[in-house]
Amino acid sequence: MKKKSIYVLLLGCMALVSCDEVEKMTGKPQENPAIPSYDLSSLQVSSPVGEGIDLPALNAADTKDVPVVEITDPGNLPDGYRISAVYEVSETEDFAQSFPMDVVFPADSTMGYVTTAQLEDAYEALEGLKSDAVTFHARTALYAVNDKNSVVRLGGDDVYYAPATFLLTPDPAFVLYTPGDSNGWDGASSMQLPSTDGKNYSGLAVLSGSFKFTTATNWDGINYGAGDAEGTLSTDGGAGNITVGTPGLYWVEVSTNELTYSLTEISTFGVIGSFNGWSGDVVMSHDDSWKVWTAEVTFAGDGEWKIRANNDWAISFGTSVEDMTFNGPNIPDPGVGVYRLKFDISEVPYKVTCNQD
């Protein structure tokens, strides 16, 4: 599955704002006292953003910082002051709905940067978890900050600098990882929970002791820990781990919008179908990892079958042997005779191989 950052999308504590709320979110005052002897006419600001920002390419190259504004000449800014910036993007030129991002200026640099993660959050806040490139409009609010933490909006509340229009290609997360005790807290080797909408995730996971949900194989994405109540989640970095009482295989459902999750323990998998009149299950056995389940089934060749959990229809898998989807349709018999079925859930999509001895 492709990397993501759901997240959830997954958006932490950022939210959609109207342009007159930017200062409230960033903690900047709305009153703008003058800076003594500072001539704004000598301030020179430009945008280094080109026609497009390709987040998948930047992430693949491990380039996390994106230049968005350059202070080519700060003018006669008095000693003791520095310039800070908030970068704002919107789908529309009127910025009726926008997403603000704090800009970082490295020491002694005239170039200001936002991160690929910030831009992904902006895209998902305004567009949802999609993979289509979208044209965005951008502008920059500038502030002068002195050593006493006095903040002055340069030019006034309605003045913006370095306008830009660019095509933003997102790099969304359509999978959650499950690092925890069962996999040595290694997200890359943990079992994945896929999603089709970036908000609701579900899948099978071997769990024991403690674990968390993450949008990345490391801890750089959004991390979901235990919330205040059972079955709830928190994106707070200090949130505790989620725990299970019994080690084993679970069907896991997560809503990153609602910050909720549920766990259903899987005690058995069985094969059921036309071959047995859809009555009773041929019980499958699992290996030590709980990720590979096998059974021998005698097919008539003209029927259909599925795999279900816990001798019940609440959790079943069908559609095709190459893509065993949750509660998918029945699968045609592989042929006539005895077949050894191997249900492999170690990776998404889940697969079944049907071999005759």
Query: What share of the chain has pLDDT > 70, as a percent?
Result: 90
Where are the domain boundaries for CATH 2.60.40.3620 in the chain? Answer: 175-266, 269-355
For 248, left (φ over 0), alpha (ψ -120 to 50), or beta? left
Domain 19-169: give its CATH architecture: Sandwich (2.60)
Smallest CA-to-CA distance from 303 within 270, 323, 281, 277 is with: 277
CB 317 within 8 A of CB 310: no
Dist. CA 16–CA 88, nearest whole Å: 11
Smallest CA-to-CA distance from 89 within 155, 26, 22 is with: 22
pLDDT band at 190 (very low <50, low <70, confident <90, very high): very high
Pick the CATH number of 175-266 from 2.60.40.3620, 3.40.50.620, 3.30.70.270, 3.30.420.480: 2.60.40.3620
Q: Which residues contact 257 (CB under 8 A, 6 or more apart)?
A: 8, 199, 200
Which pTM value belongs to this model?
0.60
Span 113-151, pLDDT tens digits:
999 989 998 998 898 777 889 999 999 999 988 877 778
Work out the average pLDDT over 178-196: 95
pLDDT of 1 over the 60 cut: no
pLDDT band at 34 (very low <50, low <70, confident <90, very high): low
Among 4-8, 62-66, 182-186, 200-204, the range scoring the smallest mean pLDDT is 4-8
Per the prediction, the chain carries an average pLDDT of 88
Where are the domain boundaries for CATH 2.60.40.3640 in the chain? Answer: 19-169
pLDDT of 174 over the 90 cut: no
Pick the CATH number of 269-355 from 2.60.40.3620, 2.160.20.10, 2.40.50.100, 2.60.120.380: 2.60.40.3620
Residue by residue, what is the 3-state secondary structure of the chain?
CCCCCCCCCCCCCCCCECHHHHHHHHCCCCCCCCCCCCCHHHCEEECCCCCEEEHHHHHHCCCCEEEEEEEEECCCCCCCEEEEEEEEEECCCCCCCEEEEECECCCCCCEEEEEHHHHHHHHHHHHCCCCCCEEEEEEEEEEEEECCCCEEECCCCCCCEEEEEEEEECCCCCEEECCEHHHCCCHHHCCEEEECCCCEEEEEEEECCEECEECCCCCCCCEEEECCCCCEEECCCCCCCEECCCCEEEEEEEECCCCEEEEEEECCEEEEEHHHCCCCCEECEECCCCCEEEEEEEECCCCEEEEEECCCCCCEEEEECCEEEECCCCEECCCCEEEEEEEECCCCCEEEEEECC
Q: What integer pLDDT is reported at residue 318 of this predicted model?
A: 97
Token pair of 151 as six digits: 């903040």
